């Protein structure tokens, strides 16, 4: 299926950064007025063929990049056909390395804004590749260069790449890193669903790590992004209609006394039961919730069921993310606005709902990586709780 290159917002090496700087300073129109384009020659196009044939090192399938048609254009010696096909093949490779092969509308339960790729910048990169005779180097500059991606590529090239289950996990995780935002920010929260882990990332390093509980297989936590704008201490819980229908509604109707003892209050509006749970340690949100508005209504919060953090596999929620040691996380996020742990504890003791704004919004990304590089250089291969990897590997091929 034909694909068109569409805008890189964060090229990864300095030459690409120079081009981006030119586009920022002078506009893409000025870039278009740079010296006339270079043209593909058979030798440089053959280098592109060789790159495509070894693109499996990125977990991508060479058959996606029209190598056979490019070889035929080289063989015939038709300069027009060669120019057209080499440019098309280069663009397809650049797009997949920069933003991922699987198009956004085919990414399962994925709600993170897609990256983009500017065709003007791709054209300038083609000129650079031809002029410098550095097709491989220029194309490599489009791929992520974060340490995780580099480690996963190394593992794919090693013995693990020959083991089917590990190869699928590596290919899927490499693709998801290509989806990951180019401009994630210097400070953000990262939740990896199969790892059952939340991390606070600052300048590329993890400065806090917490176990989490994620959605059941039948109520999967999606991959998504949101902005955390504040911390809510002692939150009340507006019970979603789905949970009222599933369990809480039955409790309210059949055992109202028990429901009241658990902090539930309720009313009927237009014939529909509405239920709220009062703040307190027994609240299903616990005593801390991150204020992170999103259309999925999926949040990061505390839980009264703390014994579940001792389980190895932690798919127990209705989709939200429950974090261990929530008040430590709250302290970390609120330290720069003057909130120490003692102040947080004092508010918790009052059981009054209190929202504290962050000094600036904090991006949160919920991802799904089953191959995770470790600090000792090894790769942790995690269970695939939602069975997403095989389907993704199929789409890559």
Considering Cα of 378, then 172, then 111, then 306, what sign does the dihedral take? Answer: negative
Q: What is the 3-state secondary structure (H, E, C) of the chain?
A: CCCCCCCCCCCCCHHHHHHHHHHHHHHHHHHHCCCCCCCCCHHHHHHHHHHHHCHHHHCCCHHHHCHHHHHHHHHHCCHHHHHHHHHHHHHHHHHHHHHCCCCHHHCCCEECCCCCCCHHHHHHHHHHHHHHCCHHHHHHCCCCCCHHHHHHHHHHHCHHHHCHHHHHHHHHHHHHHHHCCCCCCCEEEEEECCCCEEEEEECCEEEEEEEEEEECHHHCCCEEEEEEEEEEECCCEECCHHHHHHHHHHHHHHCHHHHHHCCEEEEEECCEEEEEECCCCCCCCCCEEEECCCCCCCCEECCCCHHHHHCCCCEEECCCEEECCHHHHHHHHHHHHCCCHHHHHHHHHHCCCEEEEEEEEEEEEEECCCEEECCCCCEEECCCCCCCHHHHHHHHC
Residue 77 — left, alpha, or beta (φ > 0 → left; ψ -120 to 50 → alpha)? left
Give the torsion through C-alpha atoms of 181, 185, 187, 190, to 10 deg.
Answer: -10
Q: Which positions are catalytic?
A: 301, 320
C-alpha gyration radius of the chain: 25
Angle at Cα 298 formed by Cα 293 and Cα 300, nearest 5°?
85
């Amino acid at each position: 299926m034909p694909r068109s290159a569409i805008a890189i917002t964060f090229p990864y090496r300095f030459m690409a950064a120079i081009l981006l700087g030119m586009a920022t300073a002078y506009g893409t129109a000025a870039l278009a007025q740079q010296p006339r384009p270079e043209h593909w020659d058979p030798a440089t196009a053959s280098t592109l063929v060789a790159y495509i044939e070894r693109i499996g090192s990125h977990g991508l399938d060479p058959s996606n990049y029209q190598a056979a048609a490019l070889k035929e254009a080289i063989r015939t010696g038709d300069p027009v056909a060669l120019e057209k096909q080499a440019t098309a093949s280069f663009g397809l490779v650049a797009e997949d390395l920069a933003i991922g092969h699987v198009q956004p509308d085919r990414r399962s339960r994925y709600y993170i804004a897609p990256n983009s790729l500017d065709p003007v910048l791709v054209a300038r990169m083609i000129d650079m590749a031809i002029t410098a005779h550095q097709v491989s180097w220029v194309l490599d500059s489009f791929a992520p260069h974060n340490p995780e991606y580099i480690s996963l590529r190394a593992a794919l090239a090693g013995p693990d790449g020959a083991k089917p289950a590990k190869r699928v996990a590596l290919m899927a995780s490499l693709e998801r890193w290509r989806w990951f935002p180019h401009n994630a920010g210097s400070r953000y929260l990262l939740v990896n669903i199969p790892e059952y882990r939340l991390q606070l990332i600052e300048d590329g390093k993890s400065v806090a790590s917490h176990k989490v509980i994620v959605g059941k297989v039948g109520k999967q936590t999606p991959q998504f992004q949101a902005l955390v704008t504040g911390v809510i201490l002692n939150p009340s819980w507006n019970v979603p209609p789905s949970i009222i229908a599933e369990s809480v509604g039955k409790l309210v109707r059949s055992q109202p006394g028990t429901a009241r003892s658990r902090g539930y209050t309720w009313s009927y509006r237009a014939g529909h039961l509405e239920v709220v749970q009062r703040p307190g340690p027994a609240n299903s949100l616990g005593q801390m919730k991150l204020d992170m508005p999103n259309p999925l209504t999926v949040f990061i919060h505390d839980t009264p069921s703390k014994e579940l953090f001792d389980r190895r596999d932690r798919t127990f929620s209705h989709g939200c993310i429950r974090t261990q040691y929530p008040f430590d996380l709250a302290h970390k996020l609120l330290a720069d606005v003057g909130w120490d742990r003692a102040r947080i504890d004092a508010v918790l003791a009052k059981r009054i709902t209190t929202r504290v704004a962050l000094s600036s919004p904090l991006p949160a990304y919920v991802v799904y990586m089953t191959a995770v590089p470790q600090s000792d250089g090894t790769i942790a291969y995690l269970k695939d709780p939602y069975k997403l990897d095989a389907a993704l590997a199929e789409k890559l091929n």
